[in-house]
Structure 1
Amino acid sequence: MASSLRRVDKLTITFLVDNNIEWMTKLPPGFTHELMQHVPHSKVDELTGVPTLDFDHFCCGAHGFAALIETSVGNEPPELTLFDTGPDTLSLPRNIRAMEVGPDRITRVITSHWHSDHTGGLLAFLRLRSPSSNSSPCIVDVHPDRPDARGIAPGPTFDKVACALPRDPTLVEIAEAGGTVEQHAEGHAVAGGTVWVSGEIPRVTEFEAGLRGGMRFKDGKWVHEPHIMDERYAAIDVAGRGLVLFSSCSHAGIVNVVKDAVTTFKRPVHMIVGGLHLAGPEFALRIPQTVDFLADRLRPSPTYILPMHCTGFQAKIALEKALGEGCVPAGVGHKVNIVGSRTDEEMLFAPVWT
């Protein structure tokens, strides 16, 4: 039940996979570039006497998404949850090493949906963990409706599959790699009650009509699957700030995601993180309506939107124009610290949209 979600005092996000690398653009308070995280640990150069950056040990970009979510309540030990794992066997392990993340400390992986740009690094991540019996088991939280295969049918007709995506890991492969599989179609709280994983997202927004070229291999043939109903979002409620929403690919539409979260929790949205799936000509007409909702119709509007992964260049420009510094150019290697305030709770307004 949504009532089981606990309010956290601190949330730290480390972006471990994203399409974008951004080292130099000005970021808001609480955001840290990867570059500055490496300087204190860099080897001092004998010639110049100053730290020298080792780019072989920096994060790399990849078409996908993965975020490490660290939640803290009071003096309790923090909970570490990995939301998605990127597209391949290389980028997530490299970036985990670059950001000095201890994989054994991560006790749960949430897969947002069965698309391999979000599950492709799962087995590689599980194999990074220590086989020692002293390490905590890693739960892998998935939607039960795993497809045999998914493909892409490009426009303008959207009826002929041009290519298939790499296969998602099977439940057997996940277990053999050391993961403990949990299948959830309904919303539920995890990580000591600090992270909410949604169920299927209601499609209530007219202009968010799914992915026209989405295809699924079923009963020996390709069939249309525009709505990708297995996709889920994650929500964290930060005291005195509001909801932080993670929507890796937003096949449901980010407006549908926000509406469901606001309806479920009756809390304002502090931050929206992830892929908004507005890239390419098929989705261009959705951009003005999406920006209008997020910037002008949702009240209070989000403090920050971090448009990542599949959002697209045009949508980022439109969001920056509407939200200014509230649109943050986040990327792989960035770290975000959100500190809550119990004393500011009474100042939060109940969210509404027009």
Structure 2
Amino acid sequence: MTVSGPPYQRIAADLRRRITGGELAPGDRLPSTRQIARDWNVALATATKVLALLHAEGLVRARPRVGTVVAGAPEPAPSAGAGAGQPAGGSRQSRTGTEHELTRQRVVRAGIEIADTEGLDGLSMRGVAARLGVSAMSPYRYVDGKEHLVVLMADEAYGEEGYPDAPPPDWRAHLELVGRTLWRLHRRHPWLAQVTPLTRPLPLANLATHADRSLAALDGLGFTDAEMLDRQILLYAHVQGLATHLESEARAAATSGLSDEEWMERQGPAMDAMVTSGRYPTFGRVLGTLTETGYDLDLDALFELGLGYLLDSVAADSARRQRGAAPA
């Protein structure tokens, strides 16, 4: 059956048919907004409305770092007279009720949900409005625009985890707690790594909580205030630096449509040529060995490795300071 109406309704009807017909099973990933825009030749805002409509119908759900997936036990497709042609948010009456219930918190959480699945490139004020089922201008009553929204989203995300009132008595355990807490937050929200550059820090109250805990752990180890701040920044930079690859990986998978394994297979011939060229003897030997034995790039393991090196350096510098020597 051909569905008339705006493009987003026609695209949603096609995806809805594939879901209710079993072609897309629960847990299967739907096309991202970028894929929808490319495959159907529509704007990103239109693609966002497609997923928002299916989300409002309960057919799909967001899964962080995976994307939009089919929800369990999809309901039958609505009939033409029972909502199939309605915009996200339903009738005018229900839309008005949603408008009245709109808050800054809901706008911010909707932005976080979109960024978690689509990245910051897929975030737009229109997309937030579509997800909430309100008019395109409604979110502007609570935030000034996308830039302001991203700042509020970052502050909200950094506040999702706190610390016990009584910190670990050992400075190392205290810093480990801060580092691992920040890593979990960045893993949950990979886009965070793009929001707060080291050279232009944002005054985020919840991020300051993590910085304060880092500095508290370093206090009393013999460092000057500047030396303490340097080490706090290094800890954050370690988390942020690795986390940038989480966002890049998700973006590359969305734009290329290739899994990590598929991408590596395509790079195989070029990698083999480098290994056998003789121009990079040590790199070639190591890569050749690992090709035989296997190697998985594990960002969690690299985070722990780097955290250990960083804390070992803090311990060594503190011991030098307490002996009266300057830190290395």
* TM-score using structure 2 length: 0.25
Larger proportion of strand: 1
If asked which structure has higher relative contact order (CA below 8 Å, sep 6+), I would say 1
Larger proportion of helix: 2
Whose radius of gyration is greater, 1 or 2?
A: 2
